[in-house]
Amino acid sequence: MKLLMLLAGALLILACGADNSDEVLPITESDADVAVEVVVDDEIEIEIEPETEEEVEIVVEVDSLYLLENGSAGLFSIYMTRDEIEEAAANYDNLVVEEIDLMAEGMATPAVALTFESAGAILLELTEDGESVFRIFIRSNLFVTEAGISIDSFFGDLVTSYEVNDVVWGAEGDPVAIVQEIGMSFILSPGDWWQQGDVVGEIPADAGLKAIILW
């Protein structure tokens, strides 16, 4: 009915002569479509264009103490010194701080383990001189990205939220998904799709995340 009324209005304008050929008729929006009036060589065409849906960015509100961002996990960040680690740790409840040595290829690397009561741990790997943090391992589901990704998430959640640049062979043979835009890698739970360092077929959406690495 609305389209017939618009066409009738267009015919009235043409009947009034060339001086009024460029007048614009009032057009109202319907719930589903938008009518657009186009004047071409003294002829009026009525086009019906569907409204487009805008993309909505999903942002999850996360406590700043547990927010994963590029280079930081809550109050702990890359390049942080030992003294700064102690100061940051004081802001967390039920946190056990322990200095340890990581063994890799027969060599010990200093690190600080931060264990949360019944909620996993994060590991701050230090430089060789033990003075500052250069890598952070997340094995606690308390820590979450702005898009809501944690170690409780799945590969399907990850690719929905971020662009995965590559999947490579990790240090322990596990597949590791690299997301450059946030400076993180995600260690995946391997399955039949992961064979000798290669992805066979497609990575299933329900492949779990074992850990998150910030670098």
- Is the overall model pTM greater than 0.75, yes or no? no
pLDDT at 52: 53
Task: Decide if pLDDT at 211 tops 60.
Answer: yes
The predicted structure's pLDDT at residue 129: 93
Which contiguous run of DSSP H or E holds residue 4?
helix 2-15
Radius of gyration of the chain (CA): 29
Calculate mean pLDDT across residues 103-114: 89
Class of domain 64-214: mainly beta
Going 188 to 194 to 198 to 204, the CA torsion angle's sign is negative
Q: Please report the pLDDT score of residue 130 as a whole number.
A: 94
What sign does the CA torsion over 196, 198, 201, 205 have?
A: positive
Question: What is the per-residue pLDDT for 174?
Answer: 95
pLDDT at 55: 56
Q: Domain-by-domain residue ranges, the chain?
A: 2-50, 64-214
Q: Rounded mean pLDDT of 32-43?
A: 45
User: What are φ and ψ of residue 2, in 5° steps?
Assistant: -60, -40
Q: How many angstroms separate the CA atoms of 74 and 80, rounded?
A: 12
Query: Is residue 47 scored above 80 in pLDDT?
Result: no
Residue 194's DSSP bridge partners are 199
CA 13 to chain CA centroid, Å, is 53
Nearest to 20 by CA among 46, 42, 45, 53: 42
pLDDT for residue 106 is more than 60: yes
Choose between 65 and 36: higher pLDDT.
Answer: 65
Q: What is the pLDDT of residues 118-132, one digit of tens each?
A: 899 999 999 999 999
